[in-house]
Every structure is written in structure tokens, then in C-alpha cells.
Amino acid sequence: MRSGPSRAVGIWLLLVAGAVVVQVVLGGITRLTDSGLSITEWQPLLGVVPPLDDAGWEAAFARYREIPQYQLLKRHLTLEEFRGIYFWEWLHRVWARLLGVAFAAPLVVFWRRGLARGLERRLLALLALGGLQGVVGWIMVASGLSERVYVSHLRLAAHFLLAAALLAALVWEGLAIVRPPPQQAPPRALRVATAALGAGLFVQFAWGAFMAGLKAGLAAPTWPSIRGEWLPAELASGRWWWDEPLAIHFVHRTLAYGLTFAIAWWWWRARSWLRLERHLVLGLVMAQVVLGVVTTLNAYFEDRLLVLGVAHQLVGVLLLAALVAAAERLRPPPAPLAAPP
């Protein structure tokens, strides 16, 4: 009898993780093209089918014309342009549904065949987390349908952080199955430092989502200073640092510098325990800093911002995946089995 999950389960989880990365990219495109509010209804089943005739498109466009985003910002939009933004939001939602099927259907097969032995509760938790992500996604969209011209940046952050958590869990569980267990226990301090870097990256993700939701890049498309200041006066405005665009900009940059130096220190400390993973983490964080600077400087150019912003988000989640891979490599070896009496 098997004592643990099959290697096929680990490969499946890593493939689903790759599909989550694609979904994050689609989410970035949807956000940067202002497509997220083009579909004003949530129909988990019927929503798979887009409008199929002129009457259907006119009805969808009429619903969009009722929300504040169209009335205050997008009155110039034609039906043909509406179809373009509708496509990205539709694809983002359909890919999410396909992700659910790609997880749930193999889960049933692996479970019935006993190939997921010992992993059942964690797989159910991953399934629940994916479902929660869909619910939070709609709650986010709903925040932009009545009083706002864009979705709530706080709900956008929650949506993105849930996606990051799902990706991290999939990578961890998948690698824990496909890679052999470690033979030596790495220093506890190194494991703690790796976990701390992961926590710091999640905080950075939150402020990155605040940047995106409030379009804070437009507030200061300059570098290295923030619109000619090193400490923006808005830091003392009395508003929370997750509501004031320039304060958010400052926090996001400061966290980026701090994480970069911390990862460089970690890269050196992990040299005796990690090979590919430590180089991958350091290379990705350096690429992310460069992308962050270039994205900021091009914030006013929509075509460039679309490419650079999506690349910035993609490298961010790849950095998370690489850090999780390093953390999994540093896990302590399993406890030895007790000798039979």
C-alpha cells in the first residue's frame, strides 16, 4: 500500500500552479485595460457563454453604460471598443472556471484511486481557497458598480493576495511530493529568515495592489525621487498609508529596497544549503526592481504600461514561487519511523 501521495499528484499540483500564474497575468491585463467592470453580472455557469448576437452585445453594453465608470470616464467608448474590454474580463473569468475544473476533476480521480493518501485535507483546503478566490473576485467587482469608477483597492489587494497564497500552497505541496525529502536539517535561523522574506513579499504585494488600484504610479512617475521629494509631505497628511497615493508609492518603493537588500543577505547566508533556488530568487528580485523603476517612468504611456505592468506582476509572482521552492528545499527531514515492536 502507498504511504503517501503519488508523484503524479505533485506534477498535477505544479501544473495547476502554472495555470494560476496565467490567471494572474490575465488579471493584470484586465486591470490595465480597464476591463474589469465590463461584465456587470456574476453568473458562475451561464457566464461562460459571451453574447452571441448583436442584441446580446447591445444588452451587455447597456448594462455597462449604467455604472459610474462609463458615465464619468468612458462615454467615448464605442460598442466595438466595449467588445475588446469585455473579452479580457470574460477570458479572465472563464480561465478561473477552467482552473476549478482542472483542480476538482483530477482531485476526484486521485482520491478514488488512493493516490492522494495523506494529502486529502490539504487538497480540500486548496479547493476551498480557489472557491473563495472566485467569491472575493466578485465582491471586488461589485465595489465598482454603484459608487466608484474603479474597484476598491482594498478588495483588489485581497483578491491578489488570495491568488498569491493559492500559488504558494500549490508550489509547496507539489514540490514536497516530486522532490525527495531532505537528508539534513538546515539551520533554523535560515528557515525563519526565508519565511520572513515570504511574509515581507506578501506585504509588498498588498502595497503593489494598492498602487494598481489607486493608479498611484501616475502620482509620481519619477525616480529615484518621488516627484522631487525623498519623503513626500503626504506621509503626514493624516490619511492612512494605504489610502494616500503618494504615501502608498513611498511605502511600495521603500519595501522594495528593503526586500532587495534582505534577499541579497539571504542569498549569501544560504550558499551552503541552496544552489539554483538562491540564484533564481536573487535574479528575479533584481529584475523586479528594474521593472518597477521602468514601469514607474512609463506610467503615462498606456501601451508601454500595459506590457511593463503585466511583466512586473508576472515577475513578482515568479519571485514568490522561487522563494517558496527555496523554503521547501530548506524544510527539515521527516522524523524517522518508529521501529516495530
Q: Is the distance from CB of 204 to CB of 258 less than 8 angstroms?
A: no
**Cα–Cα distances in Å, from 54 out to 60, 87, 88?**
10, 15, 19
3-state secondary structure 118-134: CCHHHHHHHHHHHHHHH
Instruction: Tell me if the pTM is above 0.85.
Output: yes
Considering the domain boundaries, does residue 271 fall inside one?
Answer: yes
What is the tens place of the pLDDT at every residue in 140-184?
999 999 888 999 999 999 999 999 999 999 999 999 999 988 788
Region 89-115 average pLDDT: 94
Considering the domain boundaries, does residue 79 fall inside one?
Answer: yes
* pLDDT range class, residue 228, cuts 50, 70, 90: confident
Q: How far apart are CA 197 and CA 256, in angstroms?
A: 12
What is the tens place of the pLDDT at every residue in 257-285?
999 999 999 999 999 999 899 999 999 99
Same domain, 191 and 175: no
Tell me, what's the pLDDT at 1? 36
Q: Which of 142, 159, 179 is the last residue of a domain?
A: 179
Q: How far apart are CA 271 and CA 40, in angstroms?
A: 51
Same domain, 209 and 134: no
Grid coordinates in use for 236?
503626514
What is the tens place of the pLDDT at every residue in 236-248?
776 777 888 888 9
Considering its fold, how many domains does the chain have in total? Answer: 2
Instruction: Count CB-CB contacts under 10 A for residue 284.
Output: 20
Considering the domain boundaries, does residue 137 fall inside one?
Answer: yes
Q: Is the distance from CB of 210 to CB of 153 less than 8 angstroms?
A: yes
Considering the domain boundaries, does residue 337 fall inside one?
Answer: no
Q: Which of 179, 207, 241 is the last residue of a domain?
A: 179
What is the tens place of the pLDDT at every residue in 2-26?
456 889 999 999 999 999 999 999 9
Same domain, 170 and 256: no
Q: How far apart are CA 137 and CA 153, in angstroms?
A: 12
Same domain, 122 and 269: no
Q: Which helix (H) or strand (E) holds 307?
A: helix 302-329
Q: How far apart are CA 165 and CA 105, in angstroms?
A: 21
Residue whose C-alpha cell reads 464605442 in the numeric block? 78
Grid coordinates in use for 2?
502507498
Q: Is the distance from CB of 319 to CB of 263 less than 8 angstroms?
A: no
Same domain, 12 and 50: yes
Q: Is the distance from CB of 92 to CB of 40 less than 8 angstroms?
A: no
Tell me, what's the pLDDT at 80? 95
**Cα–Cα distances in Å, from 39 out to 50, 78, 87, 142, 263?**
10, 16, 10, 10, 40
Query: Which residue in 327, 286, 315, 313 sits closest to 26, CA to CA?
Result: 313
Same domain, 26 and 71: yes
Grid coordinates in use for 11?
506534477
* pLDDT range class, residue 230, cuts 50, 70, 90: confident
Same domain, 175 and 207: no
Same domain, 22 and 57: yes
What is the tens place of the pLDDT at every residue in 24-73?
999 999 999 999 999 998 887 767 888 999 999 999 999 999 999 999 99
Domain that holds residue 169: 1-179
Tell me, what's the pLDDT at 335? 66
Region 114-122 average pLDDT: 90
Q: Identify the burial level of 68 via C-beta atoms within 10 angstroms of its C-beta, where 0-12 means exposed, 13-18 middle and 19 or more buried.
A: middle
pLDDT top residue among 44 and 188: 188
Same domain, 15 and 36: yes
Single-letter amino acid, residue 302:
E
Q: Identify the burial level of 149 via C-beta atoms within 10 angstroms of its C-beta, where 0-12 means exposed, 13-18 middle and 19 or more buried.
A: middle
Single-letter amino acid, residue 33:
T
